[in-house]
Structures are given as C-alpha cells and as structure tokens.
Structure 1
Amino acid sequence: MRNILIAAVAISAIAAPALAQSVSEPRGYGNLGYTHLDDTSTGAVTGRLGVNLNRFIALETEASVGVKDHDINVAGVDGKIEHEWDAAGYVVGKYPVSNNLEVFVRTGYGHTELKRELAGGSSDIGSDSWNYGAGVTYLVDGANGVRADWTRRDFNGTDGENDSYGLSFVRKF
C-alpha cells in the first residue's frame, strides 16, 4: 500500500507541470493590422480571430475593410478601384520554432468586394476565392507580438488571382 501511495505521489509530481502547461497555454488570438492587395494596389484594415485546436492546428476567421484606393486610367479616362470589404475562413497549420517564434501555413475560402469607378459610372466586382498562404508570428512577450503573412487569393471563374501582404499586431488570450 505504501508503495502504491509513493508511486501515485511520484506520478502526480511528474504530471502536474504538464497539466499546468496545457491549461495556461493561450487558446485564442486576435490580430489587427494592414493588408496590401498587390494586383489591385489597394489596402485594407484587417482583423482576425482564431482558436488553437492544439499546438499545431488552428481555425481562423478574418474580415477587412478597404482604406486605400487605387487611381487608374483606362484609354485616357481617369477612375479608381476601391477595396470595399472581404471576409474569409482558414485552417491554419503552425510550427513553433521557439517560445516566441512560429511559422504557419493556411488555406481557406473567402469573398472579396471591389468597386470600379470609371467615366462617371461604377460597377461592383465581387468574387469568391480559394485562399492559401504562409507567414510568421513573433511574440515579444507571452501574449503580444507581430505577424507578417502572404496570402494568394485564387478567384473562381476567370477573375484570376491576387496576392496580399499583411502586417499586424497579435494578442493571444
């Protein structure tokens, strides 16, 4: 009986740090930053919310609102392209390189709305896309950091593709 009690105490002493570590690991995160869409030369403020399913896999949603338009000239007629909004959902694969640094890849599905104004008229351009990309997150402390990422939006139909580059503040909770 005494040996069983000693073994139980020893196993508890070994398991307690592992249990405490898994409980204190942040499960969710949020991002707020700027995203540049390369092909249209527009920009947006982007917010993301994610939940870590485990150390290596997360689910993430993002939404953006356009803040930078692109002036265009078609056959001598001035106009502009506006990034109205976009939203997407992703599955994220992560690899922690160190306590403060992780690299990730992500794939998902989204929708982007643009507006083209030309010769006094305007037209809305909206398209769904399969998205994939990669990036890196660096935490300054255990909860705050920065994220840099690249995402390719492969639009359905004949709408082509568009690369976006983002830089954002990260908060884990």
Structure 2
Amino acid sequence: MRNILLAATAISLFAVPAMAQNSPFANSYGTIGYTQLDGSDGDLGAITGRLGTKLNPNFGLEGEVSFGVDDDESSFAGVDTKVELEYDAAAYGVAYLPISDQFELFGRLGYGTTEIKASAPGVSLTEDGESWNYGAGAQYFFDGQNGVRGDWTRRDFTDDGGEVDTYSLNYVRRF
C-alpha cells in the first residue's frame, strides 16, 4: 500500500508544471530600476519596484512602488530649499504587443498616489496627491527569464495638481 501511495505521489508531481501553466501567476514578473520624475516643481529620482502578472499574452496587471533617492535642491532669494519624493505607489492594467519571443511593446493605464516633501530652514511641508497614470514602453528579454525594460509614464494629478512625466529603466525577472 505504501509503495502505491509513493508511486501515485511521484506520478502526480509530473502534473504540477501543467497546473502552473493554467495559473494566472505562471507569467508573473518583478522589476527593479531607476525612475526619473520630471515635474514643474523639480526633478526627482527614485528606486522603483514592480510586481506583475500576465493574464494572457496581451493583458496583465501590475503594481509599483517607488522611494526617492535623488532630491531637488535650489535656492530662491538666498533661501535653500529641498524637494524630495517620499513615496509613489500605483496599480495598472497593462496591454502587451508581442513583437517576438524576446521583445514586446506595452501600454499601461492606472491610478496612483504620491507624497512629496518640501523643506527650507525651519519649515517643512508634506503634500500628497492622487493621479491617473498612463504610459508606454518596451521590454527585451536576453533569455526566458531576464531582461530590461524602459518606459515613460505621465502622472496626471487630480485637483489641479499638475502633471509629472516619469522615465524608467529596469531589470526584469520572470518567475
């Protein structure tokens, strides 16, 4: 009886890869990279991480979070000011256009939140804003799992908060 159970278990392990192909998370990926945020109030830099999954070859979902690493410093009337990104987080629907097995274009649409901190000697102000985000990009894979990604995304802030363009270069890893 024990041998039959062991044999059945061993045979069932061959079915695991087939089940994984039907899972919506079989085409998951993660990215890590640098993002440049260009806005009218300053240019900021951030480290950005993303997690996403392709639900089919042409559509997927992804979430991203960024933390500021490059602040904008300026001087106005002899007063030094500093603007820094505290965080940026967003969720997107992503449409893919596969060009080959290694190269694809994509467009994305989502909603996010951003927090910026501005400070001068003796004064500090933190602002946050919600935004509708849209953008496009491309990714190239060196092999089945590793690649690079470049993208542009515009954050269109609600409540007349203006617009910020972001440019990102990332390492991509498929799971």
Same fold (TM over 0.5): yes
SS of the equivalent of 1:36 reads strand
Deviations 1:101-159 (A, max 9, x none): 00000000000101000232110011000000000000010110000000000001121
Gaps of at least 5 residues in structure 2 are 1-17
2:21 to 17, 20, 23: 23
1:115-126 alignment runs, 5 A limit: 115-126=117-128
SS for the counterpart of 2:144 is coil
- Percentage of pairs with the same residue: 51
Amino acid at match of 2:27: R
In structure 1, the residue matched to 2:33 is 33
Name the structure 2 match of 1:127.
129
Q: Distance in 1 between matches of 2:76 and 2:115?
A: 21
What is the deviation of 1:74? 2.5
Counting only pairs closer than 5 Å after superposition, residues 41-80 of structure 1 correspond to structure 2 as 41-80=43-82
- 1:43 corresponds to which letter in structure 2? G
Q: Give 2:10's aligned residue.
A: none
Question: What one-letter code is carried by the residue in structure 2 that aligns with 1:23?
Answer: Q
Per-residue deviation at 1:26?
Answer: 4.7
What whole-Å deviation, never above 9, does each CA across 1:32-89 have from its counterpart, x for those lacking one? 0000001121111000000111000000000011111000223331111011101000
**Which residue number in structure 2 is paired with residue 137 of structure 1?**
139
Q: Out of 84, 93, 96, which is 2:95 matched to?
A: 93
Partner of 2:170: 168
**Which letter maps to 2:21?**
V
Distance in structure 2 (CA, Å) of the matches to 1:150 and 1:158 = 21
Instruction: Give the aligned partner of residue 7 of structure 1.
Output: none
Q: Which residue of 2 aligns with 1:17?
A: none
The 4+ residue runs of structure 1 with deviation greater than 3 A are none
Question: TM-score scaled by structure 2?
Answer: 0.83
Tell me how far apart the structure 2 counterparts of residues 75 and 109 of structure 1 sit (CA, whole Å): 37
TM-score, length-scaled by structure 1: 0.84
Aligned partner of 1:111 among 103, 110, 113: 113
Name the CA distance, whole Å, in 1 between partners of 2:144 and 2:31.
15
- Maintained 8 Å contact 1:26/1:172: no
Distance 2:99 2:154 in 1: 24
Q: Alpha carbon RMSD of aligned pairs, Å? A: 1.6
Partners of 1:123 and 1:31 in 2: how far apart? 31
Q: Is the 8 A contact 1:35 1:43 kept in 2?
A: yes
How many equivalent pairs are there?
153
